């Protein structure tokens, strides 16, 4: 008889976002638990983070009413087991509460809770109904934790567990390159909030000063077509490329000279940690999560004055060898601070203590 505790991961979809790519890692590492996945929305075409895995994956619906009915039915059926939910929001959380789910672990991987004043009042009211002291709250950074306390509630205890990054997968490539091209990359979703138009504007300026630069925007998302058109509009297709999503992203980092990451908001920022572990320096926007990650290495941060970013990026590219040495130093610190073991040990303890 299988006595493993059963854990149900619940989130919206299986596209390879910063949060989603972590979940298969957890499943593979914590073999002492029995995992299933419930996705709140319909199955989508394209890459799934669960592709090739043998765990059960069930889907909800894109229609809200049908999604609520399906989720309620699933929750009611497995209400005595552990539901580890990721950024599902107050409505589905309340639904699981009404379905009688006894053990809920709520992981916060975001900082945006509403986008209008009307939604603010509605969402805050539903959050009040959904929250209770039996829920175990996890945040993936101090910034995420503080935003939840500020916007939703500070009545409940919350543990910060940094996203796990596999230091054995992301490690420095000792191969010496023979060309003099400077390969500057972006890796992540092509979506609003990633500041990709600003990224391209800066790339255009950098290329004027450093003609040997090449730029690669790795990833997929809703803005891919618009970003491609923007590159063509500026006649920059010879040196700004969109190779799409790459599963072997560790090779992408190893082949890069620098990761340029200008996101407007992030709860954490896996890609910058992965890049540093790969020995590749980064140039990042000064948002709170980046300041938290690079608290000991502010040299990787741009200033708060966005008008100065073009000049600052050029200055940092001019000092690239210095940044590479600093990245090698930072990678040792990051391997310990953001390693897989810190996340898995904390998560296993939470699951074991769920009674």
Q: Write out pLDDT tens, residues 191-236.
A: 999 999 999 999 999 999 999 999 999 999 999 999 999 999 999 9
State the pTM of this model. 0.78
User: Are 125 and 213 in the same domain?
Assistant: no
Asked if 294 and 316 count as a contact pair (C-beta separation under 8 A), the reply is no
- Examine the domain organization and report whether 29 and 158 are in the same domain: yes
Neighbours of 282 (CB within 10 A): 28
pLDDT of 320 strictly over 50:
yes
Q: What is the mean pLDDT of residues 114-134?
A: 94
Q: What is the pLDDT of residue 178?
A: 61
pLDDT at 174 (0 to 100): 59
Cα dihedral 170→176→180→181 (10° resolution): -20
Backbone angles phi, psi at 24, to 5 degrees: -60, -30
Same domain, 18 and 129: yes
Is residue 318's pLDDT more than 80? Answer: yes
- pLDDT score of 179: 73
With cut-offs at 50, 70 and 90, classify the pLDDT of residue 34: very high
Q: Which of 99-103, 153-157, 339-343 has the lowest mean pLDDT?
A: 339-343
81 and 215 in a single domain? The answer is no
The pLDDT, as a whole number, for residue 140 is: 93
Q: What is the CATH number of the domain that holds 259?
A: 3.40.50.2000
Name the residue range of residue 114's domain. 5-164+339-353
Residues 235 and 128 in one domain: no
Q: Which two tokens stand for residue 136?
A: 């175990």
Q: Does residue 1 have a pLDDT over 60?
A: no
pLDDT of residue 115: 86
Put residue 193 in one of left, alpha, beta given phi > 0 → left and psi -120 to 50 → alpha: left
Mean pLDDT on 69-90: 98
User: Is the pLDDT reported for residue 348 higher than 90?
Assistant: yes
């Amino acid at each position: 008889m299988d006595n493993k505790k059963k854990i149900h991961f619940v989130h919206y979809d299986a596209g390879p976002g910063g949060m989603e790519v972590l979940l298969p890692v957890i499943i593979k590492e914590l073999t002492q638990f029995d995992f299933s996945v419930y996705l709140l929305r319909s199955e989508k075409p394209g890459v799934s983070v669960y592709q090739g895995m043998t765990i059960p994956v069930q889907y909800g619906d894109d229609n809200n009413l049908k999604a609520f009915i399906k989720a309620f039915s699933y929750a009611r059926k497995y209400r005595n087991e552990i539901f580890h939910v990721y950024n599902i929001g107050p409505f589905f959380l309340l639904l699981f509460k009404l379905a009688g789910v006894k053990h809920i672990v709520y992981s916060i991987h975001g900082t945006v809770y509403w986008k209008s004043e009307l939604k603010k009042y509605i969402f805050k009211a539903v959050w009040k109904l959904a929250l209770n002291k039996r829920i175990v709250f996890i945040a993936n950074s101090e910034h995420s934790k503080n935003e939840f306390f500020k916007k939703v509630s500070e009545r409940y205890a919350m543990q910060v567990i940094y996203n796990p990054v596999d230091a054995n997968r992301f490690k420095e490539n000792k191969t010496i390159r023979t060309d003099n091209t400077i390969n500057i990359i972006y890796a992540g979703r092509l979506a609003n909030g990633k500041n990709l138009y600003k990224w391209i504007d800066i790339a255009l300026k950098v290329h004027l000063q450093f003609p040997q630069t090449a730029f690669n925007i790795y990833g997929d998302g809703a803005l891919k077509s618009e970003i491609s058109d923007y590159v063509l509009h500026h006649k920059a297709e010879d040196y700004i490329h969109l190779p799409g999503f790459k599963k072997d992203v560790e090779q992408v980092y190893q082949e890069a000279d620098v990761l340029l990451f200008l996101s407007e908001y992030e709860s954490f920022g896996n890609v910058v940690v992965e890049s540093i572990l790969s020995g590749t320096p980064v140039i990042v926007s000064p948002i709170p999560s980046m300041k938290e990650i690079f608290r000991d290495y502010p040299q990787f941060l741009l200033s708060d004055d966005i008008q100065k970013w073009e000049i600052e990026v050029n200055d940092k590219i001019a000092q690239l060898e210095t940044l590479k040495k600093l990245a090698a130093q930072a990678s040792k610190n990051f391997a310990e601070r953001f390693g897989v073991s810190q996340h898995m040990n904390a998560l296993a303890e939470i699951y074991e203590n769920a009674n």
